[in-house]
Structure 1
Amino acid sequence: MHILLTGSTGFIGHTLQAALQRAGHTVHGGVSPRQRTLQPGQVPMDFARDTTATAWLPRLAGIDAVVNAVGVLHDTRARPIDAVHRDTPIALFDACAQAGVQRVVHISALGIEGSSTRYAQTKRAAEAHLQALAAQGKLRSAILRPSVVFGKGGDSSALFMNLARLPVALFPGPVLEARVQPVSVHDLAAAVVALLGPALQQTGTIDCTGPEALTMGAFIASLRQQLGHRPATVLRLPQPLTTLSAKLGDAVPQSPWCSETLAMLGSDNVGHPAAFEQLLGRKGVHYSQLVATAWR
């Protein structure tokens, strides 16, 4: 199949592209229009500005399926969250319906239900539009909602690994208490490959999680153990300093720690892995094995 993959140079997108190519697909990878030299198969696109279906129709010529793997945590002038999560995906989905591209796989996020953050609101809006198109029979959609995605190259994963190496760690309270269900980036990629192969007809929303949930603090402790270190001394950061640290993170566009992250940690990021495991044909990688299998 010829697959248009948005966000192909990002953490998740890069892994998806490699997995799709290994499965025999031809991937047309979306890259920034500011990239000076285009490699074969790369397609310039700008999620900050390509907010109309007309902008996407030429890119869909000869395309059999679309995978959207673009996402941001911060709202910035260069990457406004409303456009990146809502307006541009909606335009892309509308273009797919117009161009007859039936298969759309959309990478969303777990934990967005009931959240008032702009991250969650814009993610939900894109999901709702895609589901409406599918209900009208205009395309077949699969929405993947991963919990914390772990793997080499991920900003959050790198932060977790750096924290795991500290013999004395000072954590915000929500980081210690929030429940997550970490998933390997390679398992997420395997699910996308399945949805464009054996499970091509499968539709709906799928929670993408590891087999077991735990608190974020326990997850970081597990990473430390996997690295061969003794348990760390863990201290709790006072709430005022937690809020201040998140606001400081807002000023760093690539930082995975920011006010949006802090707000989202107020609710659990866990789900039901049965449908995900059915796609994989096995259980997902357990969090206790993530360093050995995904940190490479």
Structure 2
Amino acid sequence: MNILLCGATGFVGRALMRAVQAEGHHVLPGVSHARGLPDEVVVDYTRDHASAVWLPRLASVDAVINAVGVLRDTPRRPIQSIHALAPIALFDACAEAGVQRVVQISALGVTQGTSDYAGTKLAADRHLEQLARQGRLQPTIVRPSVVFGQGGSSTALFLNLARLPVRLLPRPVIEARIQPVAVGELAEAVAHLLRSGAASLPAWVEAVGPQPVTMAEFVTSLRRQAGRSAGWQWPLPDWVTELSASVGDRIPASPWCHTSLAMLATDNVAPPGPFAALLGREATSYDRLLASPAAAAV
């Protein structure tokens, strides 16, 4: 198939491109700036809010993967545009053009989250579900827990924390549970979705590892996987957590900010069986991720 992959140069997008190409599909990389990639399609998620803009890009497309995402709202990359307005226009264009196969990379916990990140992702998800109920599309919404792999901003944050023998961690990091999933296995599962017959496509998939772990335990596990001692960790005073998040708000490249703090307030876990069935095996456990080829750089 010819597959338009929006967000092709991002952390998850690069893994998706490799996995989909390995299945023999032809990828049209959707990028925000010309990168010189073969057959790339330049898209502007900050402005492309009408289906008419997307229709010419779908002329030879059989399926679409939307893997565009940002952590926070900025003037240069408004989160409402990138997570909701542009994807909704893209999905409407797919329905108009007869492109039935759509895979939306969302996030686990968006139905319970209160952050702008969760709300905007959920708006696009619900619009896609509405198009499916109308019989106009056959989509799958993929909702991963924390995605682990070299090149990911959250992965870098975890690895930097794991290098510290003594750690003062925000209370939500100590208490919140996640089910980290290797970026390569997330991409492999999406490739399997494109291989499946239309009748067997799930409406949504929760992409999770085999067992939940608190973020603090995950950091300790990463230390042990690297051959280090467990070290020590204590909770930060809440006022320090708030202050550090406020500082992060002012640093656009920082993965730590009030948005990420709000996202930590809800457990990010789900039953692992459906994702394992899609992969055809159990996903890599959190305590083996550091050495896993599925979490390597792509």
TM-score for both structures, normalised by structure 1: 0.97
User: Identity over the aligned pairs, expressed in percent?
Assistant: 53
| Among candidates 141, 146, 149, match of residue 148 of structure 1 | 146
Matched, 1:222 2:221: yes
- 1:200 shift after superposition: 4.5
- Contact 1:140 1:203 survives alignment (8 Å): no
| Among candidates 124, 127, 136, match of residue 126 of structure 1 | 124
| Among candidates 65, 74, 77, match of residue 75 of structure 2 | 77
- Partner SS state of residue 292, structure 1: coil
Counterpart of 1:158?
Answer: 156
1:230-255: CA deviation from partner (whole Å, max 9, x where unpaired): 11121221111101111111122222
Task: Write out the 4+ residue segments of structure 1 that deviate beyond 6 Å after TM superposition.
Answer: none
- Contact 1:183 1:285 survives alignment (8 Å): yes
Query: Equivalents in 2 of 1:227, 1:76: separation in Å?
Result: 36
Query: Equivalents in 2 of 1:93, 1:222: separation in Å?
Result: 40
Matched ranges for 1:1-296 at <5 A = 1-33=1-33, 35=34, 37-198=35-196, 200-201=198-199, 202-293=201-292, 294-296=295-297
Bigger mean CA offset, 233-242 vs 222-231: 233-242
1:200-259: CA deviation from partner (whole Å, max 9, x where unpaired): 541311111000001000001101100110111212211111011111111222221110
1:157-203: CA deviation from partner (whole Å, max 9, x where unpaired): 01101110111112111111110010010110011000000355413
TM-score for both structures, normalised by structure 2: 0.96
1:108-167: CA deviation from partner (whole Å, max 9, x where unpaired): 000112222111111111011000001111010000000000001101101101110111
Q: Which amino acid aligns with 1:3?
A: I
- Partner SS state of residue 168, structure 2: strand
- Contact 2:221 2:230 survives alignment (8 Å): no
1:54-92: CA deviation from partner (whole Å, max 9, x where unpaired): 111111110000000011111001110101111111000
Query: Equivalents in 1 of 2:260, 2:118: separation in Å?
Result: 11
Q: Which amino acid aligns with 2:211?
A: E
- 1:283 shift after superposition: 0.7
- Partner SS state of residue 18, structure 1: helix
Query: Equivalents in 2 of 1:179, 1:62: separation in Å?
Result: 43
Number of residue-to-residue matches in the alignment: 294
Query: Equivalents in 1 of 2:44, 2:259: separation in Å?
Result: 23
Query: Equivalents in 1 of 2:174, 2:197: separation in Å?
Result: 37
- Contact 2:72 2:116 survives alignment (8 Å): no
1:248-281: CA deviation from partner (whole Å, max 9, x where unpaired): 1112222211101101111100011222111101
